[in-house]
Chains A and B, each alone.
Chain A
Amino acid sequence: MSSQAAHISPGPERSDRPSYLTDGHTLKSWLLTFDHKRIALLYLGAITVFFSVGGILALLIRAELFTAKGDLFDSDTYNKLFTLHGIVMVFFFLIPSIPATLGNFLIPLMIGAKDVAFPKINLLSWYVYMTGGSMAVMVIMLGGVDTGWTLYPPFSSTYSNTNVALTAMAAFVTGFSSILTGLNFMVTIHKMRAPGMTWFRLPLFIWAHYATSLVMLLGTPVIAITVLTMAIERVFHVGIFDPAAGGDPVLFQHMFWFYSHPAVYIMILPGMGVISEVIACFTRKRIFGYPFVAMSSLGIAIIGFIVWGHHMYVTGQSAYADIVFSILTYIVAVPSAIKVFNWTATMYKGSVSMDTPMVYAMCFMGLFLIGGLTGLFCANLGLDVHIHDTYFIVAHFHYVMVGSAMFAYLAGLHFWFPKITGRMYPEGPAKFGAIIIFVGFNLTFFPQFILGYLGMPRRYHFYPEEWQVLNVLSSAGAMTLGSGILLSMLNLGWAIVAGSKASANPWMAKGLEWEHASSPPITANFETTPVVAEEAYNYPAQLPSPAAHH
């Protein structure tokens, strides 16, 4: 579209001004920082801890399921393991993962701003998250919780003897960090764009985060109300959900899924944004059908709010409600399909370079295909009756949340690693780690589709012996997956300390964060406010000669 000769800037020379990493070395300069980049790193540290906890819980679950008999833990302990795994991974890893780390770090850099619109609220959101996180840690130390992450009453509100109210309050408090982050991003994207950065020049990462912020702002208050009312019922015995006290347990499920289905899009939309950036850079192409990819993010966010009832086909809700939720669920699949087709078409006639972020992005596309397409099975009324609440569902949502969201997170961490740390990671171990994770992931979760169709319900501590072979495969996959992640984390950890110095634009990528900010950026992000005069991903028709960058 743009007629001027496209070129890529190698980025500014290293500045005399200190980078955001060296601008203050005291603990206070980190804990009381208003710099969006430092806050992103505070989040990164905390999220890594929770991710590790959630991962260890997953390994314990899979260790138990090596055998058909529940012989490693007792049933109460097993139930606590999968409950805590779900709560830690959903509320403390997946939901904040990309937005709070990469989003926080990159949104101002990508739109040419000095910071987010409300830096103090940004810091507050981290403290709110840490408060909720500490409450979750307290739950674990006090003996855990056994309701399943879905917290269904009346089991949660009346029958469970574990720390349900504290868990609900941990989710309640953490929700506010989501709301504050969503609010901050939305205002930032509206009001802080650099001159010339029009809406349709925004990187697709920004569009994805805009759509995510919408869901965070509109959806999170509903889960807050839901878990709070459940906790009130439990503590004060008010009849809201427990039928013995005059309540309605299905009402809880409506309220819970009204947030928790859109929450899936909080997890996956930012990942889709990452994938768009990575594919553009490593094919040196403008994303095919840019406006369609941008609008499909909004489409997913909006339609995603009216499909929650597909979690409730077998609760006995009206069959006509089931039909409406089923067709809406099929419709919400269309914008996801649009994205996959456009990413694929972007590679056409590009110049494809298989660096680690691109390896993760290609894995993402394959796994998201499986995750998305198996969603069509779950959306199908007649078929879902059989697969509902079985391992088929467990496999389906892990393909979306781990196979897609986590792979996108790892793609993004590797892609922007030089920008964030100013150093490069060793490529060999990074790529090797990606492949181990991919193999381990599929070995873990593909057998679970078969187990689910055979009729193995989720959250089962004991299972019949004829299902042991598939469970052993799955558990072996989990150990492989775990080692791959450990390897990749160690590789990046080593590179933070000892990696070779990275230039401002080591990938020769388009985008303000690469072309106008140093690696790592200075505290104010840019020496001078950038002025944007071109479309996003305006890659030149010729590859840069190797001499052009240094």
Chain B
Amino acid sequence: MGNQLNLFPENASTFANQVDYIYLYLLLVCAIAALGVVVAIVYFAIKYRRNATHTAIQQVEGSHVLEITWSVVPLLIMLTMFGWGTWLYMHMVTPPKGALDFYVVGKQWMWKLQHPTGQREINDLHVPVNQPVRLTLTSEDVIHDFFIPEFRMKRDVVPGRYTECWFEATKIGVYRIECAQYCGTKHSQMIGKVYVMSQADYQKWLSGSLGAETAEEAGKKLFEANRCDTCHKDAPDARGAPLWGVHGSKVALRDGSTVVADDDYLHESILHSTAKVVAGFEPIMPLYDGQLTEEQVLQLIAYIKTLKAKPKETQ
């Protein structure tokens, strides 16, 4: 901070050093390659410059050995870049078990965030240090992008689907959350702050915020308030598909195909219920598009996830 000519943002997550090492490796290799070519160009331009004494030209037709060398060697070096980058990326897209589940909803031009314990914030995000945090992201309007430079972490926030990312902050401090995908008038002011706190301070912060309910609890209330249980009930004459243990399972549809009932499918089936109807049921569920906010859909899905499969109730 303060120094106006930094070349790197601060390192504040477990990814940051890894990304910087790849960056430095590529810088080194590319600088050597570029320097080699530029030196050759300048040297030839001087040594073979046209003047009165230098009139003979030696035509050199080409060399298969050289062509193969300068194709294969760069390719091999680039494969090391590819391998390292891919290894890190797979780590970046695989949240560890036990990560805290946060929800992020982007809308023009603010960030709405919810903690695993239910607390909600706008444009501020408080997280504990040295603790993996998994974000599930969606948008209420256009495409946004959730970017924290100090964490070297970025993910698009796309309407109509869920994306996911995670980080583990390593340094207590305050960092900028930026929207990195152009989203309209105030794109450059869609800025949030992430507060990385010690575990103790985070617990204190959580207890200081008032009677929040968890996403699951809120979802259960919504489920009852919208009378979802009238049809999605545990009875042979139920008019809605059973939801017990449905999350993550394969579901047969009316048109004969099957889908995996993941977050995206549940999201679609709540808002656009007639799109993919479960086999054995009629497309009679009302459309909740426009009736529920993205946060409410997230809460409903969180609740549906808690409905465990009952024995002998497999459909």
| Option from A327, A354, A366, A379 in Cβ contact (under 8 Å) with B49 | A354
Output the nearest chain A residue to B70 by Cβ-Cβ distance: A341
Given the known interface contacts A243-B160, A389-B147, the answer about A159 and B184 at a Cβ–Cβ threshold of 8 Å is yes
Q: A314 and B154 in contact (CB under 8 A), knowing A292-B62, A326-B85, A455-B9? A: yes
Stretch at the interface among A48-56, A135-143, A257-265, A281-289: A281-289
Chain B nearest CB, measured from A361 CB (Å): 10
Q: Is the CB of A453 within 8 A of B7?
A: yes
* Interface presence of B260 (CB below 8 A): no
- What mask results when residues 380 to 399 of chain A are scored 1 for a CB within 8 Å of chain B, else 0? 11111110111000000000
Question: In the bound complex, what is the Cα–Cα distance between A155 and B157 (angstroms)?
Answer: 13
Q: How far, in Å, is A541 (CB) from chain B's closest CB? A: 6
| Least distance between A441 CB and chain B CB atoms (Å) | 16
**Contact stretch, chosen from B15-23, B278-286, B301-309:** B15-23
Q: Quick check: is A352 within 8 A (CB to CB) of the other chain?
A: yes
Q: A344 at the A/B interface (Cβ < 8 Å)?
A: yes
Please give me the residue from chain A that is nearest to B83 by CB atom. Answer: A327
The stretch that binds B, out of A182-190, A221-229, A246-254, A419-427, is A246-254
Partner of B188, one of A70, A327, A453: A70
Q: Contact: A351 with B71, CB < 8 Å? A: no
Complex Cα spacing A154 to B182, Å = 12
Q: Is the CB of A348 within 8 A of B48?
A: yes
Tell me the bound Cα distance from A288 to B67 in angstroms.
10
B59 touches A385 (CB 8 A): no
Bound Cα distance A389, B188 (Å): 13
Return the contact of A382 from the options B30, B84, B145, B275 (Cβ within 8 A): B84
A338 contacts B70, CB within 8 Å? yes
Q: Which residues of A contact B63 (CB under 8 A)?
A: 289
For the complex, is A315 an interface residue (Cβ under 8 Å from B)?
A: yes
- The B interface, classified by DSSP as helix, strand, loop or mixed, is mixed
A127 within 8 A of B: no
Q: Are B37 and A344 in contact, with the CB atoms below 8 A? A: yes
Interface residue A376 (Cβ < 8 Å from any Cβ of B): yes
Pick from A12-20, A21-29, A407-415, A456-464 the stretch touching chain B: A456-464
B160 & A351 in contact (Cβ 8 Å cutoff): no
Q: How far is the CA of A386 from the CA of B149 in the complex (A)?
A: 7
Q: Chain B residues near A362: list those with CB within 8 A.
A: 41, 45
How many chain A residues touch B (Cβ–Cβ < 8 Å)? 96
B210: interface (CB < 8 Å): no
In the complex with contacts A383-B85, A460-B187, A285-B156 CB distance below 8 A: no
- Report chain B residues within 8 Å CB of A458: 180, 182
User: Looking at the complex, which one of A155, A243, A354 makes contact with B161 (CB distance below 8 Å)?
Assistant: A243
A383 contacts B154, CB within 8 Å?
no
Q: A244-B159, A284-B57, A348-B60 are in contact. Are A314 and B9 (CB under 8 A)?
A: no
Query: In the complex, what's the smallest C-beta–C-beta distance from A424 to chain B, in angstroms?
Result: 18
Chain A residues near B179 (CB, 8 Å)? 457
Stretch at the interface among B88-96, B194-202, B223-231, B246-254: B88-96
Measured CB to CB, the closest approach of chain A to B263, in angstroms, equals 12
B142 within 8 A of A: yes
Nearest B-chain residue to A361, judged by Cβ: B41
Residues from 180 to 226 in B contacting A, C-beta threshold 8 Å: 180-189
Given contacts A347-B40, A455-B9, A457-B145, 7 further A-B contacts (CB under 8 A): A250-B158, A326-B85, A334-B78, A382-B22, A382-B89, A454-B7, A541-B58
The 3 closest A-B pairs by CB, nearest first: A243-B160, A455-B149, A382-B88
- 22 A-B pairs in the complex with CB atoms less than 8 angstroms apart: A70-B188, A75-B186, A79-B182, A159-B142, A243-B161, A285-B57, A285-B59, A286-B61, A316-B155, A333-B74, A338-B67, A349-B58, A353-B49, A377-B26, A379-B85, A380-B84, A386-B19, A389-B147, A458-B180, A541-B59, A542-B56, A543-B50
